[in-house]
């Protein structure tokens, strides 16, 4: 496993690669330190590409990531994350809509938990999932971060 730490408008981002796929993306504010200290820090071809694509995303130049992913989670979580990848840039879906796409319209809470456990935020866009009343609800990185990412995308598409 290898990692790269980059600076971004939302804080430090730690990108973790395993077997030439991205398995984790951690975002830290300045007070926190990277938590995966046992992983070798190395500028692999993939990590440099992810850094490039993330920079383009924050600059409003990239609307879709083209990166091999291997998020770790249950089969249900992976099903949810696969649906999140289908949400177009600059758009949102409700937890209920995602639940329906996974085959269980009553699984909104489970979708919320899968979002909360998303190991590759931004790239797997859990920030694009909102409450059924079109309100921002729940985001593991905080509602301010969710709003920032949604505003960034809306500014680019408008």
Active site residues: 126
**11 is a domain residue:** yes
Of residues 104 and 32, which shows the higher confidence score?
A: 104
What does pTM read for this prediction? 0.91
Reading the block at residue 8, the tokens are 């971004």
**68 is a domain residue:** no
**69 is a domain residue:** no
Q: Which of 87-91, 143-147, 150-154 has the lowest mean pLDDT?
A: 143-147
Which residues make beta-bridge pairs with 13? 6, 27
Q: Specify the pLDDT at position 136.
A: 84
Residue 6: CB atoms within 10 A of its CB come to: 15
What CATH number has the domain bearing residue 91? 1.10.10.10
CB 36 within 8 A of CB 14: yes
Helices (H), 29-90: 45-58, 75-84
- Local structure of residue 88 (DSSP, 8 states): P
Query: pLDDT digit string (tens) for 34-78?
Result: 555 678 899 999 999 999 999 999 999 999 999 999 999 999 999
Sheet holding 40-41, edge to edge: 21-28, 11-18, 2-8, 40-41
């Amino acid at each position: 496993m290898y990692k790269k730490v980059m600076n971004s408008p939302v804080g430090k981002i730690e990108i973790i690669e395993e077997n030439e796929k991205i398995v984790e993306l951690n975002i830290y504010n300045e007070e926190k330190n990277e938590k995966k200290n046992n992983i070798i820090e190395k500028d692999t071809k993939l990590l440099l590409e992810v850094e490039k694509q993330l920079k383009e995303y924050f600059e409003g130049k990239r609307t879709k990531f083209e990166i091999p992913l291997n998020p770790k989670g249950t089969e249900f979580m992976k099903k949810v994350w696969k649906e999140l990848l289908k949400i177009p840039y600059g758009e949102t879906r409700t937890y209920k809509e995602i639940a329906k796409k996974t085959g269980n319209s009553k699984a909104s809470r489970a979708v919320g938990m899968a979002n909360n456990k998303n190991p590759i935020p931004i790239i797997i866009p859990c920030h694009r999932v909102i409450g059924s009343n079109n309100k921002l609800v729940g985001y593991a990185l905080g509602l301010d971060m969710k709003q920032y990412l949604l505003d960034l995308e809306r500014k680019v598409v408008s």
